[in-house]
Amino acid sequence: MNPSQLHTPLRAGVAGVGVMGRNHARVMSEMREFDLAVVFDPDSATAGNVATAFGAQPLTTAADFVAAGLEAAVVATPNRHHAELGVALLEAGVHVLVEKPIAATVADAQRMIDAAKANDRVLMVGQVERFNPAVEAVKRAIAGEEVISIQITRVGPFPPRMGEVGVVIDLAVHDIDIIRHLTGSEIAEVQPQLARTRADREDTALLQFRLDNGVIAHITTNWVTPYKTRTLQVATHNKFVVADLMTRQVTEYFGQQPDGSYSTRGVMSWPNEPLKKELEAFAHAIRTGETPAVTGEDGLRNLEVALRCLGE
């Protein structure tokens, strides 16, 4: 039996129930680890619709959400509100999973980390691609290998839902985290190239990195490609691993011969929903007191690199 089944579900809530927050509410409502009690959105119609759909109480003020007697909360509000709400929740004794990026500024990220430590609460950052089965399969495939380079492409059409950030904060933060996760190293050098083509902020970015351990990495991301592509390629001394993060198909190329031929094999990728795996990891950290899978410090490092790419 899963140890979490032995516990009473955690009284939980979701703050900010737009696209991502609604997904959190949906998945939480189906999990035995959580009792989705409340959802908060300043738009009463949005709050009411999501609450009705998933059997929760709707709230329209942050103060009511903080005072709702929660044990665990997801913060999926616009980035600029993450720190204020996150700190208030942590100080009220609530464990917090905050959507990426952790906050709008490094100082705000540090405030959240400090509040979590001071109140002995879990602060986890929602870097959902960390839980993509294809990323996990790549990590297994390169275990024990010396990585040379990583290339990630994350492109697609402009998303109507976007608010106040460009592609670096919205998309590349995922890939900065994947690079750090796969290498276990920190990004030392950044060489960004940014362009604005159709938006009032950068909608195209080519980002090159060198990590402390010598790995080089490249991210291509934009909102101008008419179709979605999410690919990850990792070169090591002995193999080349390619993953499609949407279909979750992972292929390993290895054993290159003098004539240039090589062998290939598919790498097993389990059909799990990444958001559910992320929320299970959040519950596990709360139950066990173990360090969460994606820490506040991880979130801060990812944000720091993204802001360096933006020249901030």
Q: What's the per-residue H, E or C state across 84-144?
A: HHHHHHHHCCCEEEEECCCCCCHHHHHHHHHHHHHCCCCEEEECHHHHCHHHHHHHHHCCC
Asked whether residue 77 falls in the same domain as residue 31, the answer is yes
Q: Three-state SS for 67?
A: coil
Residue 80 DSSP class:
G
Asked whether residue 177 falls in the same domain as residue 83, the answer is no
Give burial (CB, 10 Å; 0-12/13-18/19+) of 309.
Answer: buried
Helices vs strands, H then E, count in the chain: 10, 14
The predicted pLDDT at position 6 comes to 57
- Of the candidates 96, 121, 146, which is a domain's last residue? 121
Q: Is residue 135 part of a domain?
A: yes
Q: Is the pTM of this model over 0.75?
A: yes
Asked whether residue 110 falls in the same domain as residue 160, the answer is no
Q: Which domain holds residue 8?
A: 3-121
The CATH number assigned to the domain holding 32 equals 3.40.50.720
Asked whether residue 141 falls in the same domain as residue 263, the answer is yes
Q: Is residue 229 part of a domain?
A: yes
Q: Is residue 39 part of a domain?
A: yes
Q: What is the mean pLDDT of each run of 10 residues along the chain (312 residues)?
A: 64 96 98 98 98 98 98 96 98 98 97 98 98 96 97 92 84 97 98 88 96 98 96 97 96 92 90 94 97 98 98 87
Q: What is the DSSP string of 6-66?
A: GSPPEEEEEE--SHHHHHHHHHHHT-TTEEEEEEE-SSHHHHHHHHHHHT-EEE--HHHHH
Residue 207 DSSP class:
E
